[in-house]
C-alpha cells in the first residue's frame, strides 16, 4: 500500500505515457501490491491526473461501525478489474495517470481534527486540477472532501446516492456525523442548490419534517421507487438537466444498493437499487465535468463473498472511466 496521501508531494498532472496497472497476464491477480486495481503507488510516478485515496474513518457512525476498514477491503476486491471498459469504450488507465495515493491518516478520536486532516490530504491531491476518487470510511468524510474541492472549483453540482438524506442537523447534539455532512456543506455553500440531487432515497424517517427541512437545501430527489415506475433513461435525462454544465461531485453511500447487492454496510435499508442500475447511472455522467467522488460506508465485517467490496470496486472503475471518457 502507498504511503499516506498527507505525506506525499503532488506535482502537476502527468504528461508522459501513463503507468498502468500490473499486467494480470504476467502476475496473478492474487499477488503483488494491494493497490486499487493494482495501480502504481503515487510515489512510483512523477505526477497524476486521478488519485484514488483511502479515508479510513468511521467515528461518525450512528449504528454499526467498521467502515474504517472499507478502503483496504475495496482495494482487495478490485484485483479482478481489467483495463478496458466496454460499456464506455475507453481504457481509463491508458490516457490518464491514475494512482493509488494510499490512505489519509486521520485522528480516530477527534472528529473535528479528522475533518481538517481529510481536507488537507485531499487538497494536496487536487490542488493543480487533478481528480480524486475517495474510498471511505463513513459518510462524514464527504464534508471535508467537498471543502477541499471547493478551494479549487468553487461550489459544485452534487449527486448523492444514498438510502438516507444525510441532511439532518445534529445527532445527540453532535454537528459532524455520517447523517449530517450535506447540512454542513449546504451551510457553507459547498454545492449548488438547484443543481444537486439525492438518488435512491427510501426507508423510514423521524418525521415528515425531515423532508421539509431537506427540500429547503435545493436537492432534486429521485426516490428509489422511481426505478420501478420509470425508465432509467428518463432518470438519466432528468439528472443531466439538474447537473447542467457545472463541475460535478458524486457521493455514493453503498447502502443506496439493496442489501442483497451490498450487505456489508452500517445502516442497510430494504428496497434499494440494484448494482446494475447504479453502474448505468454512473456511466451516464460521461461527458460531464466530474471533479471528484467518494464511495463510502463499506463495512467488511458484514460483507460475505466480497459482494459489497466488488460492487464498490466496480463503481470506482466506472468513475475513473467517466473521467477518462470525458477528457479523451
Rounded Cα gap, residues 220 and 174, in angstroms? 26
Considering its fold, how many domains does the chain have in total? 1
> Which phi and psi angles does 136 have, rounded to 5°?
-90, 175
pLDDT exceeding 90 applies to what percent of the chain? 90
Question: Tell me, what's the pLDDT at 5?
Answer: 47
pLDDT at 317 over 70: yes
pLDDT at residue 52 in the model: 98
pLDDT at 3 over 90: no
Average pLDDT of every residue of the chain = 94
If pLDDT is split at 50, 70 and 90, which confidence band does 28 have? confident
196: which strand partners? 219
Among the residue ranges 60-69, 110-119, 207-216, the one predicted with the least confidence is 207-216
CA distances from 209 to 169, 170, 182, 206, 311 (A): 12, 14, 17, 8, 33
Q: How many CB atoms lie within 10 A of CB 202?
A: 18
Three-state SS for 136?
A: strand
Return d(Cα 199, Cα 256) in angstroms, integer: 8
Mean pLDDT to the nearest integer, 10-17: 54
Task: Express each pLDDT in 74-124 by its tens digit.
Answer: 999 999 999 999 999 999 999 899 999 999 999 999 999 999 999 999 999
Evaluate the omega torsion of the peptide bond into residue 70 and state whether it is cis, within 30 degrees of 0. no
What pLDDT was estimated at residue 266? 97
Average pLDDT, integer, range 50-71: 98
Q: What is the pLDDT of residue 10?
A: 37
User: Rounded to whole angstroms, how far apart are CA atoms 72 and 54?
Assistant: 8
CATH code, 164 = 3.40.800.10
Q: Do 185 and 210 contact (CB within 8 A), yes or no?
A: no
Torsion sign, CA atoms 37, 200, 281, 127: negative
Q: Which three cell numbers stand for residue 152?
A: 479549487
**Confidence band for 8, pLDDT divided at 50, 70 and 90:** very low
pLDDT digits (tens, 9 = 90+) for 239-293: 999 999 999 999 999 999 999 999 999 999 999 999 999 999 999 999 999 999 9
Give the mean pLDDT of 52-72.
Answer: 98
Confidence check: pLDDT of 15 > 70: no
> What pLDDT does residue 11 have?
40
Q: Does residue 14 carry a pLDDT above 80?
A: no
Taking every pair of Cα atoms in the chain, the longest distance, rounded to a whole number of angstroms, is 57
Provide the domain limits for residue 163. 5-327
Amino acid at each position: 500500500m502507498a504511503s499516506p496521501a498527507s505525506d506525499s508531494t503532488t506535482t502537476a498532472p502527468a504528461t508522459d505515457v501513463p503507468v498502468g496497472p500490473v499486467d494480470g497476464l504476467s502476475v496473478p491477480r492474487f499477488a503483488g501490491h494491494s493497490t486499487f486495481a493494482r495501480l502504481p503507488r503515487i510515489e512510483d510516478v512523477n505526477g497524476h491526473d486521478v488519485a484514488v485515496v483511502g479515508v479510513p474513518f468511521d467515528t461518525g457512525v450512528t449504528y454499526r461501525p467498521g467502515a474504517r476498514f472499507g478502503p483496504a477491503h475495496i482495494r482487495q476486491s478490485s484485483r479482478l478489474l481489467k483495463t478496458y471498459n466496454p460499456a464506455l469504450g475507453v481504457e481509463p488507465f491508458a490516457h490518464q495517470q491514475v494512482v493509488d495515493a494510499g490512505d489519509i491518516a486521520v485522528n480516530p478520536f477527534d472528529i473535528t481534527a479528522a475533518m481538517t486532516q481529510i481536507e488537507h490530504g485531499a487538497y494536496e491531491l487536487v490542488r493543480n486540477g487533478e481528480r480524486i476518487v475517495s474510498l471511505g470510511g463513513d459518510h462524514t468524510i464527504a464534508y471535508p472532501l467537498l471543502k477541499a474541492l471547493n478551494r479549487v472549483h468553487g461550489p459544485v453540482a452534487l449527486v448523492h446516492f444514498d438510502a438516507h438524506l444525510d441532511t439532518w442537523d445534529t445527532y445527540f447534539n453532535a454537528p459532524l456525523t455520517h447523517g449530517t455532512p450535506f447540512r454542513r456543506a449546504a451551510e457553507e455553500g459547498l454545492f449548488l442548490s438547484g443543481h444537486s440531487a439525492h438518488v435512491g432515497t427510501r426507508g423510514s424517517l423521524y418525521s415528515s419534517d425531515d423532508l421539509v427541512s431537506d427540500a429547503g437545501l435545493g436537492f432534486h430527489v429521485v426516490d428509489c421507487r422511481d426505478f420501478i415506475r420509470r425508465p432509467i433513461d428518463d432518470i438519466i435525462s432528468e439528472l443531466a438537466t439538474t447537473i447542467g454544465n457545472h463541475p460535478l461531485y458524486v457521493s455514493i453511500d453503498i447502502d443506496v444498493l439493496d442489501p442483497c447487492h451490498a450487505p456489508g454496510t452500517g445502516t442497510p435499508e430494504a428496497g434499494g437499487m440494484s448494482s446494475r442500475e447504479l453502474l448505468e447511472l454512473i456511466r451516464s455522467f460521461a461527458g460531464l465535468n466530474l471533479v471528484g467522488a467518494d464511495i463510502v460506508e463499506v463495512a467488511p465485517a458484514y460483507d460475505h463473498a466480497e459482494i459489497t467490496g466488488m460492487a464498490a470496486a466496480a463503481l470506482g472503475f466506472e468513475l475513473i472511466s467517466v473521467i477518462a471518457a470525458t477528457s479523451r
